[in-house]
Structure 1
Amino acid sequence: MSKIFEVPLYAYERSPDQDAPAPVRHKVIVVGAGPIGLAAAIDLAQQGVEVVVLDDNDKVSFGSRAVCYAKRPLEILDRLGCGQPMVDKGVEWNIGKVFFNDRQVYEFNLLPEEGHQRPAFINLQQYYFEEYLVNRVRELQAEGAPIEIRGRNKVEAIGTHPDHVKVEVDTPEGAYTVEADWLIACDGAGSPIRSMLGLDFVGRVFEDNFLIADVIMEADFPTERWFWFDPPFNRGQSALLHKQPDNVWRIDLQLGWDIDKEREKRPENVIPRLKAMLGEDVQFELEWVSIYTFQCRRMEKFRHGRVIFAGDAAHQVSPFGARGANSGLQDTDNLCWKLKLVLDGKAPESLLDSYDYERIHGADENILNSTRSTDFITPKSDMSRILRDAVLDLSEHYEFARPLVNSGRLSVPCTYDGSPLNSADALDGPERTRPGSPCPDAPLEDGFLLPRLGGKFTLLTIDADAPDVIEEDGIEVTRLALSVKDDPTQELKRRYLGEAESAVYLIRPDQHVAARSPSFDEQSIRHAIRRATGKEHANV
């Protein structure tokens, strides 16, 4: 397993920019070749936008790190051309179980309905994720796409200007300067770019520590998420168990606040804790050990002129709920189509302000849920613990108490209620597909809905007439015509029509609903297109 950590994926090579007489200007520079930075670069390159990724590393991340990937981010990765390798390698799961002391008190299914191409979650080590993303970059390069990764290119300073960003880069062969029309900072929770600009990262640090261990072992535990409150092997604390590929199991053990972190990471201290959990006779090896402290923080704004922040650089949550990488992928999914329109002159620069609105909304939603989870998992007073334990006891026998159990509310796609890009809802349809919501998948006769939507503006008509193509101020919208008569499962009707007889949806390139109505009205659709591209702000 060590080989994947040791071999450079994007080894340093001298760039022509280093020998240029003046700084070379690029359309977009992405700082950070982690999952979020690579996803942003792939998204832009697939749309023909020239992009350069700079990273001071040249290898995958060490350890599993982000491990749980939800259905919506997998659907985003499908559009980026690397969803299938993730699913093929990952461990699929829908079922979670919660234990209190030594008994099971609650079980849940994260995808209780049929008719989705992707599972509720997969577990996959982050180093595989990064490898698949780099493989996708290589595929795009072979196809002539304008994308480049520069390893061991460390950004030392940036200068912001009204029409570009100046970037000073250090390499093994010395420093050079480069420029970008736009810079996307995906350089992690400790973001050097954020520090260079003197920007705040405000929030809450929770007084608790968790030990993470990647353990290689043969075990017959089912492929489920298991969470313990006050287990016999970790009294007064909590624990989490996840299965990963290659017989690697992810174990999280709550340790408390006042600890010696370096001491707790030593094998002679980790192994007894794991034996208490797994049993003295279980044979295992340690692959990776780390200790983390909960933090829920975000920047006040994600866009600062020509510098835009995404992923952990913009917002950070505690790991319970798998909201970090999943949220970061939704950041880039929201941003890249807007940046493409701005670069092409088809939308005003102010369209990027909607990235701030929508993804800050998503970050606040994640921070709220993550904070509630952390407060439930780690109560800070005797009264809070008594209440928490009473909820757990009741949940074993009473249905009403189970929604109150919070072992980490798991990541769900964000609905952009109140977004300036949404048009008024003209359809008395299902709540789940109202304007601002992500399109749920649905089975069709020849596959599934979401791949048919792709990554462009689409006019989805269900038993309704409309033109095959509409162009509004340089924005081309193509029609996808469907009928419930060709839907034997009736899931399309349930998810998009409800009680209505027909429907017309304007779908954004990130597959969020921009507008919907019972039938096609050309003037309304044209207003909705303008509104969804930042050109129309009056109520439709």
Structure 2
Amino acid sequence: MSTPQSAKRPHGVVYQYAYVRSRDQDAKAVASHPVVVVGAGPVGLTAAIDLALRDIPVVVLDDSDRIGDGSRGICYAKRTLEIFDRLGIGEALVKRGVTWKLGKVFLGDELAYAFDLQPEPGDKMPAFINLQQFYLEKALVDRAAEVGNVDLRWRNKVTAIAQRNDGARLTIETPDGPYELDAQYVIAADGARSTMRDLLGLEFKGQTFEDKFLIADVTMAADDIPTERRFWFDPPFHSGQSALMHRQPDHSWRIDLQLGRDADIAEELKPENYEPRIRRMLGDRDFRVDWISIYRFNCRRIDRFVDGRVIFAGDAAHQVSPFGARGANSGVQDAENLAWKLAAVLKGEAGPRLIDSYEAERVQAADENIGHSTRSTDFIAPQSGAERTLRNAVLALAPKAEFARRMVNSGRLSVATVHDSPLSTPDADTFSGVAKLGAPLPDAPVTANDLSGSLLEHVRNDFTVIAFGDAPQVPDGVTILSVGRDIEDHTGALARRLDAQLGSIYLARPDQHLCARWRKADSVAIAAAHRLALGH
């Protein structure tokens, strides 16, 4: 892997990587690899690192040679941070980012609604951080180099694909000319303008919203502004529209301004037009615009996420509005869902049907996110006068009435999907608590060897049985985590969140999702649940 060169732009940083000729280009026969990932963004790199940590070699192809075109995605949710922590970069990202948990929604300049996303006490990861996407991508590129087994090839553009029953052959264009590569599986993580999707003739289905939004990164000194998400409906500085502001690292602020469906993009991108808009919002503060873009957004997906040996993830598979931070977070969760399943199939631990569960689970997640995004957009940008009147009435009632506060929708913020999964063993016993079958395990404070930590630090890359008391014999490939022996539930939070009693047993998948639980279980029940979770 090449070493990045950091180059200052007028405002911001670009990490540039050199094209390096691979030995596959000089091989006498077409080289074959277990997995080729197309796209070195957050989703593709997450999948590659996760597979590499499971001893699966990965080739990553990207048609670019740099990171750093504006901040783009900035908002990363607790579940996504837990995934990054399992991959070895979570703590560094939290340290680098801006942690927040408070949100406020205004009608005009009056507070209509406020919320607090404070996680349960003792959780390792915060509710959200804000961090420019180029910092995340740089951390992922560096981590890929550390773990090994990831061959990251810049300026390698896929131009053709031919599928077979046992894999796919890719044609790749480089500065040295074309070459071919075989893969048992291909992960298409090449974004909203996916070449892989076009090559296979797959089409998005869904809705494109006509309203246009201006998005900008602004550098300014503003220590007096609290670190919180601020959303305005019909603010005095931007009458009749909406506005959003988030703090980022480096004294940078993300600003979104709704422009309406009739806005002229070319005109709005002129400094003489966008700078006055931003100044009306920020007042007399000195500021510098570092990056600006205008976008319309879509709520749509392709029909199937698995096409032969090509598996789609992230924006290549589905698109949502940016309100609610559901795009990048959902894409990273796609990658985690896929990686352990692909590794199990490649190692012969499961049949190919396990890959079908990726489609079932992540189509459910995509539909859930599209639904939330569509409803948010309808609330933020009403399509008729009657809808706007109803929306404003809800906002006016929100400070006084709980039912109205529940109806306010400036973007339902990203949470992990509770999968209605074919891999889960249905409950035979009754459980309450915050843990849900098909959802990620809730984190909780624990101690091990008198050292404080959290549950998810002990549930990593394997199937794990969490036993409150002695556990029966478990199948090969399953780790036992005994509460009282391996870890101590010193606050009682773990038992409370899992609704555990003495004898309770929980089976977590390698992606930390809960797939089975019992008040009492024997080795036969655990083995059956393990086989089901592997797609048998």
* Distance of 1:27 and 1:449 partners within structure 2: 32
Confirm whether residue 136 of structure 1 aligns to residue 130 of structure 2.
Answer: no
Among 426, 451, 456, the alignment partner of 2:457 is 451
Measured after TM superposition, the shift of residue 523 of structure 1 is 1.4
CA contact 1:125–1:244 (8 Å) conserved in 2: yes
Partner of 1:242: 246
Question: How far off its partner does 1:483 sit?
Answer: 4.3
1:95 aligned onto 2:96 = no
* Equivalent residue letter for 2:259: L
How far 1:267 sits from its partner (Å)?
1.5
Retained in 1: the 8 A contact 2:433–2:498?
Answer: no
State the secondary structure of the residue aligned to 2:434.
helix
The equivalent residue for 2:441 is: 439
* Inter-partner Cα distance in structure 2 for 1:345 and 1:45: 17
- Is the 1:430–1:494 Cα contact (8 Å) retained in structure 2? no
Unaligned runs of 5+ in 1: 536-540
Report whether the alignment pairs 1:461 with 2:463: no
Per the alignment, residue 255 of structure 1 pairs with 259
Rounded Cα–Cα distance in structure 2 between residues aligned with 1:51 and 1:364:
29
2:490 and 2:464 mapped to 1: Cα distance?
23
**Corresponding residue number in structure 1 for 2:3:** none
Matched to 2:470, the amino acid is: D
Residues 433, 496 of structure 2: 8 Å contact kept: no
Q: 2:521 corresponds to which residue?
A: 520
Name the residue aligned to 2:324.
321
CA distance in 1, matches of 2:255, 2:322: 13
Q: For residue 99 of structure 1, report the CA deviation from its aligned partner.
A: 0.4
Helix, strand or coil for the counterpart of 2:263? coil
Shift of 1:2: 2.4
Per the alignment, residue 28 of structure 1 pairs with 35
Equivalent in the alignment of 2:166: 163
Question: Partner letter of residue 251 of structure 1?
Answer: I
Alpha-carbon contact 2:42-2:137 (below 8 Å) kept = yes
Shift of 1:113: 3.1
Q: Following TM superposition, where does structure 1 have runs of at least 4 consecutive aligned residues deviating by more than 2 angstroms?
A: 1-7, 483-490
Residues 465, 519 of structure 1: 8 Å contact kept: no
| 1:127-526 map, 5 Å | 127-140=134-147, 145-219=148-222, 220-279=224-283, 281-417=284-420, 419-430=421-432, 432-445=434-447, 446-462=452-468, 464-467=469-472, 470-471=474-475, 475-483=476-484, 486-497=488-499, 500-526=501-527
Q: Within 1, Cα distance between the matches of 2:96 and 2:493?
A: 28
CA contact (8 A) 1:311 1:324 kept: yes
3-state SS of paired residue (2:79): helix
- Compared CA separation, residues 197 and 431, structure 1 to 2 (3 A): farther
Verify the 8 A CA contact 1:414 1:437 in the aligned structure 2. yes
1:503–1:517 contact (8 Å) kept in structure 2: yes
Cα deviation, residue 74, structure 1: 0.2
Higher mean C-alpha displacement, 112-121 vs 202-211? 112-121
SS in 2 for 1:470: coil
SS at match of 1:365: helix
Distance 1:242 1:132 in 2: 22
Counterpart-to-counterpart distance in 2, 1:436 and 1:123: 27
Which residue identity lines up with residue 533 of structure 2 in the other structure? A
Q: Please identify, of 57-66 and 69-78, the stretch whose mean Cα deviation from structure 2 is larger.
A: 57-66
**Which residue is 1:116 aligned to?**
123
Q: CA deviation at 1:430?
A: 2.2
Give 5+ residue unaligned stretches, structure 2.
1-7
Question: Equivalents in 1 of 2:260, 2:433: separation in Å?
Answer: 41
The answer (yes or no) to whether the contact 1:263–1:269 under 8 Å persists in 2 is yes
CA shift digits 1:296-317 (9 cap, x unpaired): 0101110011000000000000
Please list the CA deviations of residues 453-473 of structure 1 after superposition, one character each: whole Å capped at 9, or x if unmatched.
1121000012x3214x622xx
TM-score by length of 2: 0.95
Superposition deviation, residue 501 in structure 1: 4.5
Contact preservation (8 Å) 2:14, 2:68: no
Q: Distance in 2 between matches of 1:427 and 1:455?
A: 27
SS at match of 2:210: strand
Report if aligned partners of 1:5, 1:59 keep a CA contact under 8 Å in 2: no
Post-superposition Cα deviations, 1:310-355, rounded to whole Å, max 9, x if no partner, equal 0000000000000011000110110010000100111000110000
State how far apart, in whole Å, the 2-side matches of 1:487 and 1:452 are: 13
Aligned amino acid, residue 434 of structure 1: K
Partner Cα separation in structure 1 for residue 242 and residue 371 of structure 2: 21
Residue aligned with 2:211, SS: strand
- Displacement of 1:64 in angstroms is 0.7
Alpha-carbon separation, structure 2, partners of 1:379 and 1:457: 46
Root mean square deviation, CA, Å: 1.5
Q: Among all aligned residue pairs of Structure 1 and Structure 2, give the percentage whose two residues are the same amino acid.
A: 54
- The separation in 2 between residues aligned to 1:391 and 1:502, in whole angstroms, is 48
